[in-house]
Structure 1
């Protein structure tokens, strides 16, 4: 198990790679860049958290005076509040999909609560993102994500197998339906007090952490600013490690940094036409134990991180939480700031996961 509880320099990626081999799906080269389609409605759409057994919806008023549901999950030593928000930016359609499951055990037995959060950033369409949204978590659970006695290696193997099975099924569907789109992903599972983070592509997860736990319980506004620690590694064709893997698979990274001159990311679900030239759905997987130093996690697609630096986003969220705003409102304001004030042109989706330590 890789521990993330030791203090890490700001913006340094904290991760643990799983060196398994890539899947070997279908080819079929066809131009389909990472940002192939445009969007539809300029207003933010907040997604309500899905609550499961043991969750505790709490009603409150948002910044506009509307009644909203604030989902809460209680764990030993801490509670989790989470919500998602999205905006299509200036594009003609929204190709992102997200998941907020505060009790994600589904039909699998066990006493260890499992929460799940994910963002799937589609490119060339939304079919791959929707497919991953509907299937990945179930595939991870069926692959053996621990529910009773937590075994870190078994859990990571289940996540890896869940990604592989999801991509293999998606490739079969896309071949039958003639799909050409793909989707990057950033996913978090909170199992007991352990956080698992998995990603493919350029979506990111960032944890806000204080240097000490003194005097910062039950809130997110310690005396000093929280540190932003990146929990994921971007997978782009231009990066040396990814370029080498692509070239070994027979792919070409062109002078514009794109695979076959078209695709910017080097790992994604789907993208059937690029799979045999190096595109992989094998995730980087990292785990760490939550402590009172960990206050919240921000998940975001590349649209969010294109206009927000990790430290900038943490500071923005911390300030709003300190003002006592609900998590749902904070997530919406984060996305609104990205699109309306910072001029994000891409689809923009964010999930805010707040840990309330007892």
Structure 2
């Protein structure tokens, strides 16, 4: 839910980096929403003795950005600094935490930061009612820990296929629905009490005040699901994204699209920008954020793929020119008319998962249409 703008805000926030045998890029865009409520974290080299570990996360805020922004800055420290994460070892120890202590520490970190934020004056007095989902991956030299609380999602692409995906926490899921009902709530129109579309989140304290119930038994739970996967040479990339992305792309579609873009550019920011632009033109009305983490075995730029992509751009340019020429006395066709014509055709070599929407804007096709529009306007003025 939430209000929308008259036109989308397409300015993007980008970042990239590398280390620990990986590269990352990210992109976030406000889109049609009145406010940007997403946040993210990207850390290569974790403090206090975990230099060869990395952490990436996307936070999808709702009813405000307060909780998402705070978590983006402090969730990692709540995870790595608690006693459960360290087990018997102290911060700074050279001994790597065990798998079980890491999983326990992640859960404790989520519960602790949720309890901590509850004491913020604006959240306590109801002036701010925001909440946020969180999806993350914590990478050690040997393991991946996928972490999910809410309906943002992480996927692992390994050996040319989607190997793993986190599961969305929706109120209509049987286990989630049972907890909600046990806490005295209901699921209506697929929402908690007919209002909130996610069943697990940080913040959202209006849904966490049922007497006699613990923090993980409330209408909305801050407890994450944690999945541990051994790293492998076949690992190619991990994608973390908010539901603004997943609303219009499936796991397979997004991964195939990312793979196709990695074959034409090694600029991970550009790849992420292509994803959010494509999702915007596929109809997403939400804020959009994506973090792409590439391993050593990620797809590499291919001369053949670059050539085919350039040929596709030339083909589209020629088709747009033909459509303009055929319009004749009918008037100047607009972008919708152009896209409708192209959509009806069987165009070869469109990016898988992205399709024609990935060539919509900003790109050569859009620039060409506008250039042609200006030329025809000039000619009409001269006559």
Provide TM-score, normalisation by structure 1.
0.74
* Structure 2 segments unaligned to the other structure (5+ residues): 87-93, 211-217, 299-383
Q: Which has the higher helix share?
A: 2
The unaligned stretches of length 5 or more in structure 1 are 1-34, 50-70, 211-225
Map of 2:118 onto structure 1: 171
How far does residue 196 in structure 1 lie from its aligned partner after superposition?
0.6
Q: 1:178 Cα deviation (Å)?
A: 2.5
Classify the secondary structure of the residue corresponding to 1:235.
Answer: coil
Q: Which residue in the other structure is 1:96 paired with?
A: 38
Alignment pair present for 1:129 and 2:76: no
1:356 aligned to 289, 293, 296, which one? 296
Structure 1 residue 38 displacement after superposition = 4.4
Residue 37 of structure 1 contacts residue 125 of structure 1 at CA under 8 Å; is this kept in 2?
A: no
Aligned to 1:267: 200
- What does the per-residue CA deviation read over 1:78-101, in whole Å, with 9 as the maximum and x for residues that have no partner? x11011101111111110001111
Distance apart, 1:357 and its partner CA: 4.5
Mark the structure with the bigger radius of gyration: 2
1:81 to 23, 27, 33: 23
Following superposition, the deviation at residue 41 of structure 1 comes to 5.6
* Greater length-normalized contact order (CA 8 Å, ≥ 6 residues apart): 1
Instruction: Show the counterpart of 1:36.
Output: 2
Distance in structure 1 (CA, Å) of the matches to 2:239 and 2:50: 27
Aligned residues: 279
Q: Which residue of 2 aligns with 1:310?
A: 251
Are the aligned partners of 1:87 and 1:347 in contact in 2 as well (CA < 8 Å)?
A: yes
Deviations 1:179-214 (A, max 9, x none): 21110110111112211111111000011111xxxx
From the superposition, tell whether residues 186 and 127 of structure 1 become closer, same or farther in structure 2 (CA, over 3 Å): same
Q: Tell me, yes or no, if the aligned pair for 1:112 and 1:148 is still in contact at 8 Å.
A: no
Name segments (4+ residues, structure 1) moved above 4 Å.
Answer: 37-41
Alignment of 1:49-88 (within 5 A): 49=16, 71-74=17-20, 79-88=21-30
Return the alpha-carbon distance in structure 1 between the equivalents of residues 149 and 3 of structure 2.
20
2:205 equivalent to 1:205:
no
Between 300-309 and 189-198, the greater mean CA deviation after superposition: 189-198
Q: Secondary structure at the match of 2:220?
A: coil
Cα gap change, 1:169/1:157 in structure 2, threshold over 3 Å: closer, same or farther?
Answer: same
Once the two structures are TM-superposed, the CA of residue 239 in structure 1 deviates from its matched residue by 1.1
For residue 325 of structure 1, give the secondary structure of its aligned residue in structure 2.
coil
Contact in 1 for aligned 2:82/2:108 (Cα 8 Å)? yes
Residue by residue over 1:261-293, the C-alpha shift from the partner in whole angstroms, topping out at 9 and shown as x without a partner, is 111111001111011351000000001111111
Aligned-partner Cα distance in 2 for 1:127–1:163: 16
